[in-house]
Amino acid sequence: MGKFNLIEEPWISVLTDEKGTTKEVSLIDLFENANQYKDLAGDSPTQNFAVLRVLLAILHTVFSRFDADGQPYHYFKIDDRLRQISTIDEEDVEDYSEDLYRNWNQMWQNKEFADIIYQYLNIWHDRFYLFDDKLPFYQVTEAVIAPDKISRKKASFVSGKTINRLVSESGNKNKIALFSPKHSSNKEILTAPEIARWLVTYQGYSGLSDKAIFGKEKYKSSKGWLFDIGGVFLKGNNLCETLLLNLVLVHPKSEYIGYKQKPCWEYSSQDIVDRSFSINKVNNIAELYTNWSRAIYIDPETDISKAFSFNTVKLTDIDHQDQFLEPMTIWRYNKSGENKGKHTPRKHQAEQSVWRSFGLITLPNSYKEDQERPSIINWIDNISESINNFDMTIESVSMKHDGKPISWLPVDEIYDSLKINDLVLTDSADDGWLIRINEAVDRTKEVIGGTYRRFLVDVRNIRKLDSNHQFVNRGVEDLYYAIDQPFREWLSSIKPTDSKREKISQWYNSLDKIVDNHAEKVLENATYRDYIGIKSEDQENKGANIITAYNKFKYFLNKQ
| Phi, psi for residue 278 in degrees, rounded to 5 | -110, -20
pLDDT band at 466 (very low <50, low <70, confident <90, very high): confident
| 311 membership: H or E segment, kind and range | strand 309-314
First to last CA, the chain: 70
Average confidence (pLDDT) over 87-93: 92
Provide the pLDDT confidence category of residue 427 given band limits of 50, 70 and 90: very high
3-state SS string for 112-160:
CCCCHHHHHHHHCHHHCEEECCCCECCCCCHHHHCHHHECCCCCEEEEH
- Average pLDDT in the chain: 93
Q: What is the mean pLDDT of residues 193-206?
A: 97
Q: What pLDDT is stored for residue 388 in this prediction?
A: 85
pLDDT at 177 over 50: no
Q: How far apart are CA 408 and CA 227, in angstroms?
A: 10
Of all residues in the chain, what percent carry a pLDDT higher than 70?
Answer: 95
CA distance 504 to 514: 16
Q: What is the pLDDT of residue 538?
A: 53
Q: What is the pLDDT of residues 163-174, one digit of tens each?
A: 987 765 545 554
**If you ran DSSP here, which 8-state letter would residue 12 be given?**
E
The pLDDT score that the predictor gives to residue 322 is 96
Q: Please, what is the angle between helix 500-524 and helix 471-493, to 10°?
A: 150
**How sure is the predictor about 181, in pLDDT bands with cuts at 50, 70 and 90?**
low
Mean pLDDT of 478-507: 97
Going by pLDDT thresholds of 50, 70 and 90, the confidence category of residue 539 is: very low
Give the model's confidence band at 467: pLDDT under 50 very low, under 70 low, under 90 confident, else very high.
confident
Report the alpha-carbon distance of residue 65 to residue 82 in Å, rounded: 8
Least confident among 120-129, 249-258, 387-396, 542-551: 542-551
Judged against a pLDDT cut of 90, whether residue 547 lies above it is answered with: yes
DSSP letter (8 states) at residue 335: S
DSSP element (H, E) containing 351: none
Report the DSSP beta bridge partners of residue 232: 396
Predicted local confidence at residue 537, as pLDDT: 53
**Separation in Å, CA 210 to CA 138, 151, 450, 463:** 18, 12, 44, 50
Mean pLDDT, rounded, for 195-224: 96
Predicted local confidence at residue 171, as pLDDT: 56
pLDDT at residue 184 in the model: 52
Q: What is the pLDDT of residues 342-371, one digit of tens each?
A: 999 999 998 899 999 999 999 999 888 899
Q: Region 89-118: what's the mean pLDDT? A: 96
Does position 235 have pLDDT exceeding 50, yes or no? yes
- Nearest alpha-carbon partner for 270 in 143, 388, 178, 399: 143
- In this prediction, residues 323-351 reach a mean pLDDT of 95
- pLDDT over 90 (residue 407): no
pLDDT, residue 178, reads 43
CA pair distance 231, 247, nearest whole angstrom: 15
**Which position has the higher pLDDT, 241 or 173?**
241
Q: Which residues contact 337 (CB under 8 A, 6 or more apart)?
A: none
**Residue 482 and residue 153: Cα distance in Å, rounded?**
55
User: How much is the average pLDDT of 209-234?
Assistant: 96
Q: What is the pLDDT of residues 57-83, one digit of tens each?
A: 999 999 999 999 999 999 999 999 999
What integer pLDDT is reported at residue 448 of this predicted model? 97
Residue 281, φ and ψ in degrees, nearest 5: -110, 115
Confidence of residue 271 (pLDDT cuts 50, 70, 90): very high
| Residue 541: band (very low, low, confident or very high) from pLDDT cuts 50, 70, 90 | low
Q: Is the pLDDT of residue 113 over 70?
A: yes
Cα distance between residue 378 and residue 518, in whole Å: 39
113-122, 223-232, 242-251, 275-284: range with lowest mean pLDDT: 275-284
pLDDT tops 90 at residue 540: no
pLDDT at 183: 46
Q: Report the DSSP beta bridge partners of residue 314.
A: 213, 294
Q: Are 212 and 329 spatial neighbours (Cβ–Cβ below 8 Å)?
A: no
Please spell the DSSP secondary structure of 366-403, one letter per residue. GGSTT----HHHHHHHHHHHHH-S-EEEEEEEEEEE-S
Q: pLDDT tier at 534 (50, 70, 90 boundaries)?
A: confident
CA distance 416 to 396: 5
Which pLDDT does position 442 carry in this prediction?
97
The pLDDT, as a whole number, for residue 168 is 52
Burial class (CB in 10 A: 0-12, 13-18, 19+), 532: exposed
Domain 433-559: assigned CATH number: 1.10.132.100
Residue 468 near residue 448, CB atoms below 8 Å: no
Residue 14: pLDDT band with limits 50, 70, 90: very high
Strands of the sheet with 156-159, listed across from one edge: 156-159, 309-314, 294-297
Per-domain residue ranges for the chain? 3-133+221-320+400-416, 433-559
Summarize pLDDT for 498-519 with one digit per residue, the tens.
Answer: 999 999 999 999 999 999 999 9
